[in-house]
Amino acid sequence: MKHKLLIGCCLLLLPLLAPAWAQEAPVADTTTDSTAAMQAPAPVTDLTARDKENDHGHGIVLEWTPSVDDDGGLNNVFGYVIQRAESPDGPFEERGRVPIGAGGYDDIGSKERESDGFMPDYVDYYYLVRTLTVDEAVYTDSDIIGPVQSYGQWFNTGRIPVLFFVIGFMILTMYFITKARGGAKLFVRRLAGIEAVDEAIGRATEMGKPILYVLGLGTASDIATIASFTILGRVAKKVAEYQTGLIVPCYDPIVMTVAQETVRTSYMDAGRPDSYSDDMVYFVTQSQFAYVAAVNGTMLRELPATNIYMGKFFAESLILAETGALAGSIQISGTDEIAQIPFFVVACDYTLIGEELYAASAYLGREPVLLGSLKAQDYAKAAVIILAVIGFITINFDWGGFKQLFQVLD
């Protein structure tokens, strides 16, 4: 038993003694390693340089065959340094470094003239690739390659699938708009939120209270805001006919401009241009929560019978909806901001989810352009469903080529 204990202790102590042995062994090994480090590695071969494709310029792609001493031969390669000059005689400046095994490098510069990394197009560049060892004083340069110039391309071939879909969608849209203009009746299913708008306007008229219409925090170029303008036009026309009050506080000055035009036109269409006043549609501020504070104050002071929130909303959505509920208003909302839809769903009486907002503008306006676009979207959705089913089948039977058709390269 004691012998076994002694042997066990010796075995345990063995690792403690190993460093002492290891210190002795490398004397010969260090000599061998330093000898190998002093030898310069073989250079890279087959170095090529070309303009980077499918970009706006300011980029060169370099490719080479790694040194034979990279993971073979002398096995002393530490990495590669890419150097560039505007003349074959230099001076060469370092453009980047890549680790061992690398066979290429993208030399991408900035397009900003005042930037430090500015890389002008249509300038001759010369490259070499330096093969480094651990000791950076020991290296080998490849042959100098060049001249090569960078330039931008007009057409990005990696985005051809996008082109096909754009063309397909445009053909569908133009077909249905033409059909709608020709007088064809295009069916759009009932949307509960929109049918409630007329009812809500009637309620406001009976109660003698105004309607508050909030266009959201988007700009005039946001799709949700554009859809909201159409709905505002419809609401304003009804309001003008019923002689109800309308309050439209705006977040964006340009949105205010468009909204004023829309409401003025609606009042004129309703035959009541004298009832319109620019004070109905006013700018508040472009600060998110200051805007919300002002609208909340308006809700509790003016006590509108109906609140309509249509457009782009962010964190203020629940604050608006809850305050409106506190004021006892009937509330109809619509937004394409996915994160805000839950708040509108819980706090408003009717909510238009995402694309229903866009459909609502077509449903209310009944303009051929809007109806035709909506129909085209529906057929695009049908195409997506069919493509999804085909893709689902092909991927499950390992027919992988179909998915490649949808790959869009940067």
Partner 1 sequence: MNGSRRLSLIILAAVLVVFVVSWILHTTGFQGDGAGTWLSVRDGFLVTLAAFLTLAIFSFLYKDNPYYKFAEHLFVGVSAAYWMCVGFWSTFVGNFIPRVSHTLSDFFQVPYKGFNVFYFVPLILGIMLLLRLSSKVGWISRWALAFIVGTTAGLNLIRYLRTDFITQVSNTFVPLLVDWKGIGPFFSDLSLSASGQFMLTLSNWVIFIGVFSGLIYFFFSKEHKGLFGTASRVGIWVLMITFGASFGYTVMGRVSLLVGRLTFLFQDWLGLIN
CB of 32 to partner 1, least distance (A): 45
* Separation between Cα atoms, residue 94 and residue 127, nearest integer Å: 10
14 vs 382 by CB, closer to partner 1: 382
In sequence order, the β-bridge partners of residue 92 are none
What string marks each residue from 306 to 335 as x (binds partner 1 by CB under 8 A) or -? ---------x--x-----------------
141 vs 367 by CB, closer to partner 1: 367
Question: For residue 312, what are its two tokens?
Answer: 């782009």
79 vs 304 by CB, closer to partner 1: 304
> Which residue do the tokens 């082109």 mark?
163
Asked if 171 is part of the footprint of partner 1 (rule: CB under 8 A), the reply reads no
Considering only residues 238 to 267 of the shown chain, the ones binding partner 1 according to CB under 8 A are 254, 257-258, 261
CB of 240 to partner 1, least distance (A): 20
Q: In a 10 Å sphere around its CB, with 0-12 CB exposed, 13-18 middle and 19+ buried, how is residue 324 labelled?
A: buried
Asked if 403 is part of the footprint of partner 1 (rule: CB under 8 A), the reply reads yes
Strand 330-335, strand 306-312: pairing: parallel
What string marks each residue from 129 to 168 as x (binds partner 1 by CB under 8 A) or -? ------------------------------x-xx--xx--
106 vs 378 by CB, closer to partner 1: 378
* Separation between Cα atoms, residue 275 and residue 272, nearest integer Å: 6
Asked if 226 is part of the footprint of partner 1 (rule: CB under 8 A), the reply reads yes
Q: In a 10 Å sphere around its CB, with 0-12 CB exposed, 13-18 middle and 19+ buried, how is residue 407 labelled?
A: exposed
Which residue from 57, 189, 250, 313 is in contact with partner 1, where contact means CB under 8 A? 189
60 vs 364 by CB, closer to partner 1: 364
CB of 235 to partner 1, least distance (A): 21
CB of 352 to partner 1, least distance (A): 11
Per-residue DSSP letter, 136: T
Output the 3-class SS for 302-358. Answer: HCCCEEEEEEECCCCHHHHHHHHHHCCCEEEEEECCCCCHHHHHHHCCEEEECHHHH
Per-residue DSSP letter, 52: P
Which residue from 5, 16, 24, 114 is in contact with partner 1, where contact means CB under 8 A? 114
Q: Which one of 36-44, 126-134, 230-238, 394-402 is the stretch in contact with partner 1 (CB under 8 A)?
A: 394-402
* Separation between Cα atoms, residue 159 and residue 402, nearest integer Å: 16
CB of 219 to partner 1, least distance (A): 8
Asked if 2 is part of the footprint of partner 1 (rule: CB under 8 A), the reply reads no
Q: Which one of 20-28, 57-65, 136-144, 182-190 is the stretch in contact with partner 1 (CB under 8 A)?
A: 182-190
Question: For residue 266, what are its two tokens?
Answer: 């609606």
With CB under 8 A, what is the number of residues at the site for partner 1? Answer: 71
Which residue from 102, 144, 145, 353 is in contact with partner 1, where contact means CB under 8 A? 353
CB of 348 to partner 1, least distance (A): 13
Q: Which helix H or strand E contains 80, and what residues bound it?
A: strand 79-85
Question: For residue 178, what are its two tokens?
Answer: 């033409």
Per-residue DSSP letter, 174: H
Which residue from 75, 178, 243, 287 is in contact with partner 1, where contact means CB under 8 A? 287
First to last CA, the chain: 72
Asked if 341 is part of the footprint of partner 1 (rule: CB under 8 A), the reply reads yes
Helix, strand, coil percentages for the chain (3-state, nearest 5): 50, 20, 30
In sequence order, the β-bridge partners of residue 214 are 309
149 vs 285 by CB, closer to partner 1: 285
Which residue from 92, 125, 276, 291 is in contact with partner 1, where contact means CB under 8 A? 291
